[in-house]
Amino acid sequence: MNEKPKRRPLRQAVNLGRFKVLQKNTNGFHWDDLYHHLFTMPMLQLLGLITLSFLVINMLFAGAYLLGGDCIENAKPGSFSDAFFFSVQTLATIGYGAMYPRTAYANTLVVIEVFLGLLGVAIATGLMFARFSQPTARVLFSKSVVVCPYNKMPTLMFRAANQRSNLIVEAEVNVSLLIPEITPEGHTIRRLYDLKLARSRNPLFILSWLVLHPIDEKSPLYGHTATSLQEMGAQIIVTLNGLDETVMQILHARQLYLASEILWNYQFVDVVTNYDNGDRAIDYTHFHDVVPFENP
């Protein structure tokens, strides 16, 4: 007897910068999450779903009108196309006047369809407006993290840049070190350690921002090397929040670095140019470039 193939577990992916976290064996879709599902699905899928729903609704109402017999004035009896186009005009409240309901049955269907049409337009309009008005951050993070001396102290550094030509006001960055640990009882946990920054707040974020964490005796990174961090599977989690001056909404950006992306005894190439008149410019061509650190 042939065994039935096992059902593949459902997977959902959560993006963390350039990496993904897969959620296996989840319960999948819930009607309570319908708005969230529609809000997060790709735009082409959403437009396709709206188009398909529009066609299916009109086809169902066209069939319902045909069940009422010759209930639409100036429509060919039994013509599905006439009933379909009459449904489209009714659902969209166009009302050309060439075809109109002639029986109580048809008028009842028209009332129901117009109500559904108004409700559907309101939902679709609100959903599309929310999608287009959703605040997004174009914050660029360096591809790697470097560790080199800064003010005679080993310092972990990475940089971020605002790629839009506007201000992010009161920007704040938080950095955490994630290390998998095993307790004496054998429990595996993922412990987060906050990394104290030399400056965690930027009142006007428009150019490049070099984020610094001094590795002193109080730092969770104190005493570690590139090898020890990679053996532990350490990761660095970065979150950045700020107020977009243009749309006056809070922006969020995040990045995750693996231990293999921490470069020791390297420094970033300078990308900011200062002009005599006080202007400044940032060159993104070498934003991710690093060079070996050399003591002056």
Q: In CATH terms, are 11-133 and 139-292 the same topology?
A: no
d(C-alpha 188, C-alpha 179), whole Å: 11
Provide the β-strand partners of residue 263: 146
What pTM value is reported for the model? 0.72
Give pLDDT, residue 1. 46
Q: In this structure, are residues 140 and 254 in contact, taking their beta carbons and an 8 Å threshold?
A: no
d(C-alpha 134, C-alpha 130), whole Å: 6
d(C-alpha 39, C-alpha 37), whole Å: 5
Query: 80 is written with which tokens?
Result: 């599905």
Helix axes 104-133, 43-67, angle to 10 degrees: 180
Closest by CA to 268, choosing from 152, 140, 146, 150, is 146
> CB neighbours of 236 closer than 8 A, spacing ≥ 6?
145, 156, 158, 175, 176, 177, 178, 195, 256, 257, 262
Q: In this structure, are residues 138 and 181 in contact, taking their beta carbons and an 8 Å threshold?
A: no
Q: What is the dihedral of CA 75, 76, 82, 86, to 10 degrees?
A: 20
CATH topology (fold) of 139-292 = Immunoglobulin-like (2.60.40)
Give pLDDT, residue 43. 86
Give pLDDT, residue 284. 86
Closest by CA to 58, choosing from 38, 36, 86, 32, is 86
Give the start-to-end residue ranges of the domains of the chain. Answer: 11-133, 139-292
| The CATH number of the domain covering residues in 11-133 | 1.10.287.70
pLDDT tens, per residue, the chain with 296 residues: 455 545 445 555 666 656 666 666 666 667 777 777 888 788 898 889 999 999 999 999 999 999 999 999 899 989 999 999 999 999 988 888 889 999 999 999 999 999 999 998 898 888 888 888 777 788 999 999 999 999 889 999 999 998 888 889 999 999 999 988 877 887 788 889 999 999 999 998 888 899 999 999 999 999 888 899 998 889 999 999 999 888 788 899 999 999 999 999 999 998 888 888 878 888 888 899 999 987 76
Q: In this structure, are residues 58 and 114 in contact, taking their beta carbons and an 8 Å threshold?
A: no
